[in-house]
Structure 1
């Protein structure tokens, strides 16, 4: 009986090794890569906007200091 159970399990395990792209689209990987994508999608534009705004504020402060001199 144990042999019969092992014979049924082995072909399934072998078929998953022959298609590595199936592991890429597993639910765990979809969640993992989806969360990474969402974090990057929110952080990159926000970081870029903050860099731009701080640069503009620095330019304005530099101009006002030059005018005072």
Structure 2
């Protein structure tokens, strides 16, 4: 499979699987910039996941701050 296809699949939500497969199968572990781009996509997905989990609490906290002003 082409690197661009693998990266698009990672962007579409398969970053955890791609990173896991890369380590388990030892495939493209030394290939740059593929490795760095894939890691960046994984970090982005983790950040978005944390933001999604924290968002309701952030909205509530901001509402309380606004009400107290």
Give the TM interval when normalised to the shorter protein.
0.3 to 0.5
Quick check: which one's helix share is greater?
1
TM-score for both structures, normalised by structure 2? 0.40
* Structure with more relative contact order (C-alpha pairs < 8 Å, separation 6 or more): 2
